[in-house]
Amino acid sequence: MGRDVLQRKQPKPALTGRVRAIFRSLGLSLFLWLTAVIFAAFAAYAFLNIRTTSRQWNQTILQGAQRFSELIQHSTHYSMLLNRKQDVHHIIRTIALAPGVEDVRIYDKHGVVIYSANESEIGRQVDLQAEACVSCHGHETPLRSVPAGSRSRLFAGRDGERVLGLINPIENAPECYNAPCHAHPPAQSVLGVLDVQMSMAEPDARLGAARRQAVTAAVLIALAAGLASAGFILHMVRRPVKQLIAGTRRISGGDLDTAIRVDSRNEMGQLATAFNTMTGELREARRTLTEWSGAVENKLQVKTEELTRAQRQVAHMDKMASLGRLAATVAHELNNPLEGILNYARLVDRTLADEPLEPERKAELDRYVNLIQKETARCGTIVRNMLLVSRKSGGTMAPHALGRIIERSVMLVRHHLEISGIRLETRLFEGNDELVCDADQIQQALVTLLVNAVEAMPDGGTIRLSADAMDDAVGIEVSDTGCGISEDALPHIFEPFFSTKTSANGAGLGLSVTFGIVQRHGGTIEVESKVNQGATIRIVLPRHPPPESDTAADEAAI
């Protein structure tokens, strides 16, 4: 039971840690320091303001009392000259009834009260060491004039309230010692003293209220400034610091996609920017490490693919070279027999035309002879294409305008386009379209591409022919909306005798010849195609082909 009680009395670790974290926080420390400084500053301001206000109040009251004393002196001056004591008594008693006036007295030079608002004081001898007389009679020889700084005094009145006493000397003016009624000797500089006592109750009450207002205002302003500083610290310090701490913890947990929002350009904003930069660099470093972790395998795979492509290219070049040599041999061996067969077929045709035969027999022989001529001509075309594959170019490289070559090529196939119901759209560039080439071969390549596009659209469609210029090259693009080329056939379309056509009209040498022409000009040819969406063939030819392009291409027999 006792152990359970002790366990219940122990504080919760989480709450204790949270309290410690609050007291160790930078925001609380800044808030306490700023609050202390603000309260100290406003306390000093309130103290100085109260002291300055008190001095100003006292100075104002003193000046008012001084003017009030001078007013009394001026009011009684004429009556004193005429020695009208009753008038002087009446004036003093009337003035003493004013609010805030405690007493009004006039002393002679011996300290005897000769006029007073309180008639019981008239004729009374005051102590010359009293507070009202000591300023002049406190010396061995009485002063002939009262110093300005010694004329006022503060003392406690009968009710314990402060009273301001002001003495104003009545000097012996010429109109006094020249008067016939009660002339004073000219050597007597001071005839008496006017003592005015004014209550400080109302000024002290106002001053106290002003002090309380100043203290209250200082406290309220200090509290408002403290709250404002708390909000400032919360917004400008605590929240950014918490974001940095949370971001650091997320980074330590492996989340490198963390980014802190930058709301300012001060030091905290710069720190957040630096944090985001660091996070980005760490993320980039991790990405680099991730890439390099598989770099060896990727590079090996790339090198293997490059080697495979190189081997395929070498094998393709060897095959093309062998096919070229074979084509040259076969063409040479077949050309003469085919020419003889064609000549004899023509001779038989003329003979049949001259000799009379039965109509049915003659029609049958005519059909056979026409078939021999047609197939022999097709074999001749195949032989000529094989010779184009095998032999070097016999044309001449010279500057030509690409636009004119394209126009001639389009003119050759325009009738074919109209018959097939195909629309041709051309887009040629403006400017310099000149390039060094064999114009006949480029025209042959373009015609081949256009004819292939027409044959790929037996039901009609659209062919788009465009040309564009680059700095050192020109590009030609032919696209159609035909049946397209399958992915399996794409790698083989430039091989001799390969054809996707189902009819017997295609020998499979057109694109191979086109490929060889482009290669001999130092250019490139690319094909993009999707089944039932059409095909696009793009040729890029340098404006000035390298001299070695002919030899390299012919050696490859492409």
Phi, psi of 333, rounded to the nearest 5 degrees: -75, -35
CA dist list (Å): 330 to 222, 374, 379 = 109, 20, 11
15 falls within a domain: no
Indicate if 268 and 140 belong to the same structural domain. no
pLDDT score for 188: 64
User: Mean pLDDT, to the nearest integer, of 117-126?
Assistant: 79
369 falls within a domain: yes
Alpha carbons 387 and 327: distance in angstroms, whole number: 7
pLDDT score for 440: 85
pLDDT score for 557: 35
CA within 13 Å, CB half, 111: 15
- Please list, in sequence order, all residues whose beta carbon lies within 8 angstroms of the beta carbon of residue 470, skipping any fewer than 6 positions away: 540
Indicate if 349 and 497 belong to the same structural domain. no
Indicate if 507 and 409 belong to the same structural domain. yes
Indicate if 129 and 188 belong to the same structural domain. yes
304 falls within a domain: no
What's 376's domain CATH number? 1.10.287.130
243 falls within a domain: no
Instruction: State the DSSP string of 264-285.
Output: -SSHHHHHHHHHHHHHHHHHHH
pLDDT score for 73: 77
Indicate if 361 and 443 belong to the same structural domain. no
Indicate if 454 and 540 belong to the same structural domain. yes
| Domain region containing 331 | 312-390
215 falls within a domain: no
Indicate if 408 and 498 belong to the same structural domain. yes
pLDDT score for 334: 66
Indicate if 403 and 552 belong to the same structural domain. yes
- Write out pLDDT tens, residues 467-509: 998 888 999 999 998 888 888 877 777 776 666 665 545 555 6
pLDDT score for 538: 93
pLDDT score for 327: 64
- Please list, in sequence order, all residues whose beta carbon lies within 8 angstroms of the beta carbon of residue 234, skipping any fewer than 6 positions away: 27
pLDDT score for 113: 84
Alpha carbons 150 and 162: distance in angstroms, whole number: 18
**pTM assigned to the model:** 0.39
Average pLDDT, the chain: 74
pLDDT score for 463: 92
Indicate if 380 and 403 belong to the same structural domain. no
User: Mean pLDDT, to the nearest integer, of 429-448?
Assistant: 87
407 falls within a domain: yes
Q: Does 130 have pLDDT greater than 70?
A: no
What's 174's domain CATH number? 3.30.450.20
Phi, psi of 40, rounded to the nearest 5 degrees: -65, -40
pLDDT score for 111: 79
Local confidence band at 531 (pLDDT 50, 70, 90 cut-offs): confident
Alpha carbons 196 and 164: distance in angstroms, whole number: 8
Q: Which of 211-215, 356-360, 391-395 has the highest mean pLDDT?
A: 211-215
pLDDT score for 465: 92
Q: Which of 30-44, 127-141, 383-397 has the highest mean pLDDT?
A: 30-44
Q: Does 23 have pLDDT greater than 60?
A: no
Between 208 and 27, name the one with better pLDDT.
208
17 falls within a domain: no
Q: Which of 87-91, 333-337, 389-393 has the lowest mean pLDDT?
A: 389-393
User: Mean pLDDT, to the nearest integer, of 28-43?
Assistant: 77
350 falls within a domain: yes
Phi, psi of 474, rounded to the nearest 5 degrees: -130, 150
Q: Which of 295-304, 479-488, 546-555 has the highest mean pLDDT?
A: 479-488
User: Mean pLDDT, to the nearest integer, of 127-147?
Assistant: 56
What's 424's domain CATH number? 3.30.565.10
Query: Cβ distance 386 to 330 under 8 Å?
Result: yes
In the chain, what percentage of residues exceed pLDDT 70? Answer: 69
Indicate if 331 and 407 belong to the same structural domain. no
3 state DSSP class of 42: helix
β partners of residue 168 = 194
User: Mean pLDDT, to the nearest integer, of 145-155?
Assistant: 66
pLDDT score for 479: 92
* Number of domains into which the chain is organized: 4
Indicate if 380 and 426 belong to the same structural domain. no
Q: Does 528 have pLDDT greater than 70?
A: yes
Local confidence band at 110 (pLDDT 50, 70, 90 cut-offs): confident
Indicate if 514 and 381 belong to the same structural domain. no
